[in-house]
Amino acid sequence: MDEAKFFDQVRHNPFPNKLSGPQVIGMSVILEEGERRRTPRNHLAYMLATAYHETAATMFPIIERGSRAYFNKYEANTPIGRRLGNTKLGDGYRYRGRGFVQLTGRTNYERVAHILNIDALNNPEVVLLPQNAAEILFAGMDQGWFTGKALDDFIDGKDEGDSEDWREFVAARRIINGTDKAQKIAGHAIAFEHALEAAGYEESSTSENLT
């Protein structure tokens, strides 16, 4: 894959004519993880679009903002906290959202530690390292960690026209957050897919689902 061609394309869409160093680094890490896993092109395009939206276009792992009191809604004695698997006082803040997508809650941090062998439970900040964040992005979206819905539930991995890809990309927002900004993110995914194609990203009919 020719990353220079990829960046030349995305510099105009979805980015506004320029890229920062961190944006290039973050996307390079995601692209390398996609090639390592032999991820289908339209799956990778949607992952890039998701990261674009979830990081406010910085393309670098971020941490959920808010005062410590804000995260009380995630504490162990709350409905949200129980759903997230938080069991100890302070879990709401300790396991707040981090990454290319907002990995949140003790259950997800335990999953990362167990499946990816990343010590996220004892050291949550490791989730913010770009390579770790990329592994979480891929494994989480491939395996349905965030809402129980996975990429294969919505995106078939076939090389199809923009209209069919658009339909699948809109539906795929349910992997992360219902239908919030679904059409906007789908538009970004189309742009990323065109850039991947122009750069010669090799199509794969199935993802390796590496961990």
Domain ranges of the chain: 3-57+133-198, 63-128
Q: Is the pLDDT of residue 147 over 80?
A: yes
Q: What is the CA radius of gyration of the chain?
A: 17
Q: Which of 68-82, 96-110, 152-166 has the lowest mean pLDDT?
A: 152-166
Cis omega (within 30 of 0) for bond into 124: no
pTM of the model: 0.92
pLDDT above 90: percentage of residues in the chain: 88
Tell me the mean pLDDT in the region 99-103: 95
Strand partners, 173: none
Domain 63-128 has CATH 3.30.20: yes
pLDDT band at 117; cut points 50, 70, 90 = very high
Of 145, 121, 137, 8, whose CA–CA distance to 62 is shortest? 137
Tell me the mean pLDDT in the region 81-95: 96
What pLDDT, on the 0 to 100 scale, is given for residue 203? 65
What pLDDT, on the 0 to 100 scale, is given for residue 26? 97
| Cβ burial 156-170 (10 Å sphere, 16+ → b, else e) | ebeeeeeeebbebbb
Q: Which are the contacts of 67, defined by CB distance < 8 A and separation ≥ 6? A: none
Tell me the mean pLDDT in the region 21-29: 97
What pLDDT, on the 0 to 100 scale, is given for residue 205? 39
Tell me the mean pLDDT in the region 107-131: 96
Q: What is the pLDDT of residues 175-196, one digit of tens each?
A: 998 889 999 999 999 999 999 9
Q: Which of 17-31, 64-78, 90-104, 192-206 has the lowest mean pLDDT?
A: 192-206
What does the DSSP assignment read for 40-95? -HHHHHHHHHHHHHHTTT--S-EE----GGGGGGGSTTSHHHHHTT--STTHHHHT
pLDDT band at 206; cut points 50, 70, 90 = very low
